Amino acid sequence: MSSISLLRRSGLFVEFNDEELKAIVEISKEHRLSAGEPIIQEGSRASSLYFVEIGSVDVLKNRADARIPCLSHLMEGDLFGELAFLEGAPRAADVVAHDGLTVLELHYQDIEKLVNENPKLGVKFYRALSLSISKKLRKTTEDLLNLILSSRLVALGQMAMSIGHEINNLLSIILFNLERIEGAMKDEVIDRPSILQEITTGRVVLDRITKIVAGIKMAGRDSRNDPMVPTNLRTLITETLTFCQQRYKNSDIRLEIPAVPDDIYIKCRSVEISQVLINLLNNSYDAIKNLNDRWVKLEFNDFGDRIQISITDSGPKIPKEIRERMFHPFFTTKCAGQGTGLGLSISRKIVEAHGGCLDISGASQNPRFEINLPKEGRT
């Protein structure tokens, strides 16, 4: 593939003619690297942007507490390094050759020289570069929103087995009731009150199943465009606990829930606040499921203009150095493959978007997460 064909294939120079592309190719430099060789190092000052000509690259991110293995994998024709290049900012990640690699480099000084010599071409170049960055940022935003949604679905998935177990138990009750009704119908003297009682019990059980299924459908859908509306706190808590109680019961974990105030309303997207509570309850479950003393406690404190919902579990107090990092994206204390490290950071963002705050108490002798939300007058 010629360098001109490469630039045109990248999508950045679709509107450039061959003469303009030739001028850009003339100021580019070609580099060949072996697998594992770095092209860009995180933190270094940006001075160039690059096109993958042959091979592929991995974009890697380092953190003090973890290394994120691969943020992105770029192939032939892909452009990289343009955002930091345009800002003159430090590089945000490492870029390493994945295999035998050839890249074209466009250095800032060479581009500036071209701009001075041909201002019309320079304006066209920077406009194309800005549009390319805009498209990437839009795609990144969409990916992040989808990641947030999938994170909620993962949290729900962790509850799925226990919910399925509960539904099976409820269906068994209905089947048993039907068998009793069938037996009663064979008697010469039909005991109508008993049959009506069995039917009433069956309706109660079916209503329970209906609410469970409706709750799953509600919590699993995309709520990003929902309006915030006044929502009864007791209703919200009751619906959320539908996902948790059976799982806790199956693992013999004591879930302590006081009476939920019936006259408290918060203006919210109920699906999102439910997601936050499910995530915190999942975290508590995972943290204490192998302890001898297993309990989780919900508490509610009314401070007049706001309501505090706290979730405390029987685990040991979390050290200060871990508490300070728990809300950082991708930080997790769970074993590899058991957590993304996104749940708490997403949960905090959701609560903050509702005008509240989510934090972990440093005073409690057990892990205690506190959600503070503004109260809403009933409308």
Q: Are residues 58 and 175 in the same domain?
A: no
Query: What's the CATH code of the domain at 87?
Result: 2.60.120.10
Examine residue 130 and state whether it is found in any structural domain, yes or no.
no
The two tokens of residue 106 are 């466009």
Examine residue 126 and state whether it is found in any structural domain, yes or no.
no
Examine residue 379 and state whether it is found in any structural domain, yes or no.
no
The two tokens of residue 241 are 């606990």
Q: Are residues 318 and 230 in the same domain?
A: yes
Q: Are residues 208 and 77 in the same domain?
A: no
pLDDT of the residue at 286: 85
Examine residue 141 and state whether it is found in any structural domain, yes or no.
no
Phi–psi pair at 265, nearest 5 degrees = -125, 140
Given a cut of 90, whether residue 99 has pLDDT beyond it is: no
Given a cut of 80, whether residue 110 has pLDDT beyond it is: yes
Given a cut of 90, whether residue 152 has pLDDT beyond it is: no
Q: Are residues 35 and 169 in the same domain?
A: no
Q: What is the pLDDT of residues 256-271, one digit of tens each?
A: 988 888 888 998 888 7
Q: Are residues 180 and 292 in the same domain?
A: yes
Q: Are residues 243 and 106 in the same domain?
A: no
pLDDT of the residue at 210: 61
Closest Cα partner for 371 from 335, 327, 333? 327
**Stretch 281-298: mean pLDDT:** 90
Q: What is the pLDDT of residues 316-357, one digit of tens each?
A: 998 888 888 887 766 666 554 455 556 787 788 889 989 999
Answer with the one of 65, 94, 117 that is the final residue of a domain: 117
Which of the four pLDDT bands, split at 50, 70 and 90, describes residue 242? confident
- Distance of alpha carbon 159 from alpha carbon 246, whole angstroms: 9
- Stretch (H or E) spanning 310: strand 306-313
Q: Are residues 23 and 74 in the same domain?
A: yes
Residues sharing a CB contact under 8 Å with residue 122, sequence separation 6 or more, in sequence order: 111, 114, 115, 116
Total number of residues shown for the chain: 379
* DSSP, residue by residue, 256-283: E--PPPSS-EEEE-HHHHHHHHHHHHHH
pLDDT of the residue at 67: 47
Q: What is the pLDDT of residues 58-89, one digit of tens each?
A: 888 765 444 455 567 888 888 888 877 776 77
Do the beta carbons of residue 226 and residue 271 sit within 8 Å?
A: yes
> Is residue 157 classed exposed, middle or buried when 0-12, 13-18 and 19+ CB atoms within 10 A define those classes?
exposed
Q: Are residues 243 and 183 in the same domain?
A: yes
Q: Are residues 298 and 166 in the same domain?
A: yes
Answer with the one of 63, 86, 117 that is the final residue of a domain: 117
Examine residue 329 and state whether it is found in any structural domain, yes or no.
yes
Which of the four pLDDT bands, split at 50, 70 and 90, describes residue 359? very high
Average the pLDDT over each of 27-41, 133-147, 252-266, 294-308 and give the range with the smallest value: 133-147
Q: What is the pLDDT of residues 295-327, one digit of tens each?
A: 999 999 999 899 999 999 999 998 888 888 887
Examine residue 151 and state whether it is found in any structural domain, yes or no.
no
Number of domains in the chain: 2
pLDDT of the residue at 307: 93
Domain that holds residue 360: 156-374
Q: Are residues 338 and 233 in the same domain?
A: yes
Average the pLDDT over each of 46-50, 75-79, 210-214, 280-284 and give the range with the smallest value: 210-214
pLDDT of the residue at 66: 47
Answer with the one of 58, 92, 117 that is the final residue of a domain: 117
Q: Are residues 188 and 63 in the same domain?
A: no
**Stretch 122-146: mean pLDDT:** 69
Which of the four pLDDT bands, split at 50, 70 and 90, describes residue 292? very high
Examine residue 284 and state whether it is found in any structural domain, yes or no.
yes
Residue type for position 82: E
pLDDT of the residue at 330: 60
Examine residue 234 and state whether it is found in any structural domain, yes or no.
yes
Query: What's the CATH code of the domain at 274?
Result: 3.30.565.10
Q: Are residues 97 and 176 in the same domain?
A: no
pLDDT of the residue at 356: 93
Do the beta carbons of residue 76 and residue 94 sit within 8 Å?
A: no
Residues sharing a CB contact under 8 Å with residue 311, sequence separation 6 or more, in sequence order: 277, 280, 281, 284, 296, 297, 298, 368, 369
